[in-house]
Each structure stands twice: as C-alpha cells, then as structure tokens.
Amino acid sequence: MPMHITSADNVRRLASATTALPADVTPTGPKAGILNVALRLFAEQGYAGASIRDIAQACGLKPASLYAHYASKEQLLAQLINIGHEEHFKMVQEAVIDAQPEPLEQLKAYVSGHVRFHAEFPMLATLVNHELHALSAEEVTTALKLREQSTDLLMHILKRGQALGAFAKDYDHWLAGAAIGAMGIRVANWYSEHHEKSIDEIIRTYQTFACRLVGQGE
Amino acid sequence: MPMHITSADNVRRLASATTALPADVTPTGPKAGILNVALRLFAEQGYAGASIRDIAQACGLKPASLYAHYASKEQLLAQLINIGHEEHFKMVQEAVIDAQPEPLEQLKAYVSGHVRFHAEFPMLATLVNHELHALSAEEVTTALKLREQSTDLLMHILKRGQALGAFAKDYDHWLAGAAIGAMGIRVANWYSEHHEKSIDEIIRTYQTFACRLVGQGE
DNA sequence: AAAAACCTAACGATCGTTCGTTGACAAAGC
DNA sequence: GCTTTGTCAACGAACGATCGTTAGGTTTTT
C-alpha cells in the first residue's frame, strides 16, 4: 500500500548529473532553474512519474509559480527534448565538419560527438531516447525531424564509406548505424564523472570499436 | 515488406508486439491476460503513465477486479521484470552452453541469445531496461541479482577470450561488454516482425560486429 | 509606479486501493 | 432431487491522496 516511486541510487536511470544543460541554450533567469530541475526529475522518474509539485518543491517554489514561466508540464518536456536533439546534432555535426574527409575519420568524428553527448548530457539523452512517447503528436513531429538529421548524417557516412571502398561491404549499413548508435546511447546509462575512465578514453575505445565494426582495423 | 518506419510508430517505445510473454512462464487463467495487458501498457506508456484503470479496461474488467489476482500495481511490474530477467539469462546461458568452447564461438552464442531476446520480447526488454526505477528497493535487489548473472556471463567470456589470446588485448573488456550489450539492447526499439531482415539475419550481422569489435575477423 | 515573481486557495479529474456484494457453478448434506 | 455450502471471478461504490491547472491577490525587484 505504500506507494513509493523513488528508490536506491543504483536503480536510477542514469549514473550522474552535474552539467545538466548545455550552457549556450539554457534560458536566463528563473526559467533556467526550473528547466534544470525538470530535466533531472523527468530523467530520474520519467515524465509521468515526476509531478509539477515535485518540480516546484525542488525549485523552492509553489506549484502555481511554475505557470508564470512555462505554459504546461508538457511544454517543459518538449523544450528539453528539443534542446537535447539540437545539442546532439550540433555535437556530431561540428565533429564531422572538423574532421578530415576520409570516411574513417568522419566515422571516428561522429562517434566522438555522439559518445560525448551521451556522457556529458546523460539526462537529456534519457529524455530524447525514452520519453518521446509522452509528447503530443504535434511536438513529436518537430522532435523526429531533428533526430532524423543526426541519423541521416551517420548513415551518409557509412554509405559513403562503403561506396568509396573504405569500409567492408559485407554488412547492411543500416544495421551498422543502429549498432554504432546503440553503443553510444547506452553510455548515458552508466557513465558518471567518477568513472575510472575519462570521456576521452571512452571515446577512443568506442572509435576503435566502430572502426573495426565497419571492417577497418585502425 | 520494406518497412519505412512511420512517424506514429516511431514515437512508441518499441516497434511491434506479438509474442508478448514467453510461453513457459506465463501464468494460467485470468492472470495471464492481465499480465500481458500490463506488459503492453507499461512498455508503451511507462509504469507511471499506465493506470490500473487503463489496464483493467484493456482486459475488459473493472479496476477492483484486478486485485483478486495481483496484490498491487507494483507487484505486476515486479513480476514482469523478474520474468524478463529470467528469460534473458535463460536465453544467453542456453546459447553459450550449446556452443563450442572457443571464446569466439561463445561470444557469438551470447550475441545470438542476447539479440534474440530483445527482438522476440521487446516489451519485456523495455521494462527491464527502463522501468527498474519504479520498483521498491526490495524488489530491485532481486532484479539486480538476476541481471548480474547475464552481465557476468558476457564479461567472463570476454576476459577469457583475452586471457587465451583469442581476442585482442588493446581495449578494456568492460567497455567491450558495454558496447556489445548496448547493440543488442537497442534492437528492442526498432525491430518488428515486419522488418525487412529476419531475426536470424540480424543475429548473424551482429555476431560479425561483435567478433570484429574484439579484434577477430570472423 | 510598473513589472516581474511568487503566493494562497481551490477547481475538477484521476490516481491506487479497499470494501461489501453478487451471480455462476460445483461439491456435500439431507 | 433439492437444498446448502463454499469458491471463484467479477462487480459498483467509495476512500483519501494526488494530479495538472487556474484565478486572483501579495511581495519583491527595478
């Protein structure tokens, strides 16, 4: 009969959380605090599991005060998911643009941005990957369009690598993209800033994995 | 069928769902229907997002009637998560036991059971991977112990492969296990029975990926 | 003084759960 | 053969708690 939603630390959906939101997209003023708290609670307890009252209390506010800054609970989630998608695309795109044009270098660059996003913003990643279903059909369309940018970029790199003969051709490139994407997505579930390995070390290892996966030793 | 994923399908947390529960562990009588419905709704909407009234209605029952069969909403989730963990371990263990003792064959066997579980029981996989946080500390302990069995098996295979010289040694075996595990876990999010590739084809491709990842060509 | 930020109070809806009851049906006693 | 008893599965009604949200007033900041 006791209803308890919270639980031990090792049961949470992610391992740590200091840098909650990317600095450049966080709003100013009281909106920032609300958004950060909502991010943490949505990620830890799920959208439906975190109430407006939970968020308000964690902000040191009363529930009604939130509505002066955000129109609804769903809009909070929508904004967070949009920020998450935009930040992910920004990170993989910038990495790929800065890379040499060889397919293998582009693949390594993508993995770098992809893994870094999930290690640095695990809570945003959790929302993007597990809470899309709580959004209305309208807001979901926006989110899916943003997500498509990132997956298209990876698929393009993989197809181009196969076409140029830089990667093996004995596999379906969509499956390879799914596998490489999955490796990085899962990082959000276990990486914490106290991990024995640094983000850069993890990235290097995962780059190696991705290169081998497409048939290139490197 | 080629299957371009529609945006409506893509919003859900998993792609399809026919074989909801493994036949051998499903209870008999009216409990079976309730458990299957709860599995579907918990997986689609999250534990907190699916209400007892939703489940009852989908069963053609009234809310109160559920309590003749299950003591609480949380017990429903706990049983599903336990079934999920047991089935996963059973599938990977049986595959590995049937395999030749060479590390590479054991790795391929593990990937086979791992991927097959996530493709055949995507809803169970979703609960196991994303709804643990809704469980009480007590029930979570049971679940984590079951999960440890599976991860220990994979880590043992990877360490043994490195020790015997069958796998490369230039990577952290824990990171390799995380990557190989992640590849399979994500399958639950996109595989559906109408996918252009069969489960066996996907398994073969992912076996190749895993072998390359540990430094072995095939 | 104007604007921004926050408050109290409450609305109707829904939440998980409990209570006492009902009809169906099979075994047991007369 | 007929009643009694017991079990099973399901029911309507309701409990207190909590949900997202709103209206209107007060405090704080500029």
pLDDT in tens, A125-156: 999 999 999 999 999 999 999 999 999 999 99
Residue B92 burial by Cβ neighbours in a 10 Å radius (0-12, 13-18, 19+): buried
Plot region of B46 (φ>0 → left; ψ -120 to 50 → alpha; else → beta): left
- Model pLDDT, residue B18: 46
Query: What is the Cα–Cα distance from B95 to B200, expressed in whole angstroms?
Result: 14
Q: What percentage of chain A's residues is helix, strand, coil (to nearest 5)?
A: 70, 0, 30
Residue A17: pLDDT above 70?
Answer: no
- Model pLDDT, residue B25: 64
- Model pLDDT, residue A218: 56
Residue B56 CA, nucleotide D4 C1', distance (Å): 34
Task: Give chain A positions within 8 Å (CB) of B10.
Answer: 144
**B5 touches A: beta carbon within 8 Å:** no
- Model pLDDT, residue A31: 85
Residue A49 CA, nucleotide D18 C1', distance (Å): 12
- Model pLDDT, residue B28: 65
Contact B137 A1 (CB under 8 A): no
Contact A147, A185 (CB under 8 A): no
Which nucleotide is closest to the Cα of A56 by its C1'? C6
| CA distance to partner chain A, nearest, from residue B33 (Å) | 23
Task: Give chain B positions within 8 Å (CB) of A130.
Answer: 13, 130
DSSP state of B132: G
Give the ranges where A47-198 is alpha helix by DSSP (H): 52-59, 73-98, 103-120, 122-130, 137-163, 173-190
Q: To which residue do tokens 């599995």 refer?
A: B39
Chain B residue closest in CA terms to A135: B11
Residue B68 CA, nucleotide D13 C1', distance (Å): 17
Predicted TM-score (pTM) of this structure: 0.91
Query: What is the Cα–Cα distance from A19 to A17, expressed in whole angstroms?
Result: 6
CATH architecture of the domain covering B8-213:
Orthogonal Bundle (1.10)
Per-residue pLDDT, averaged over A81-100, amounts to 97
Q: Which of B75, B22, B47 is nearest to A131 (CA)?
A: B47
Residue B157 CA, nucleotide C5 C1', distance (Å): 59
The C-alpha angle B53, B57, B58, rounded to 5 degrees, equals 120
> What number of CA atoms fall less than 13 Å from residue B125's CA on the CB side?
28
Which residue has its C-alpha nearest to nucleotide D10's C1'? B65
Per-residue pLDDT, averaged over A160-167, amounts to 97
Task: Give chain B positions within 8 Å (CB) of A181.
Answer: 186
Write the single-letter amino acid at B177. G
For residue range A186-200, list pLDDT tens digits in order. 999 999 888 999 999
Task: Give chain A positions within 8 Å (CB) of B186.
Answer: 178-179, 181-182, 185-186
Residue pLDDT tens, chain B, 218 long: 343 433 445 465 655 444 578 876 666 677 889 999 999 999 999 999 999 999 999 999 999 999 999 999 999 999 999 999 999 999 999 999 999 999 999 999 999 999 999 999 999 999 999 999 999 999 999 999 999 999 999 999 999 999 999 999 999 999 999 999 999 999 999 998 889 999 999 999 999 999 999 998 65
- Model pLDDT, residue B32: 86
Least confidently predicted of A5-19, A177-191, B60-74: A5-19
- Model pLDDT, residue B217: 64
Which nucleotide is closest to the Cα of B68 by its C1'? D9
**B208 touches A: beta carbon within 8 Å:** yes
Residues contacting residue B5 through CB under 8 Å, at least 6 positions apart:
B15, B190
Q: Which of 181-200 (B) contact A at CB < 8 A?
A: 181-183, 185-187, 190, 197
Query: What is the Cα–Cα distance from A202 to B10, expressed in whole angstroms?
Result: 29
- Model pLDDT, residue A56: 97
Write the single-letter amino acid at B48. A
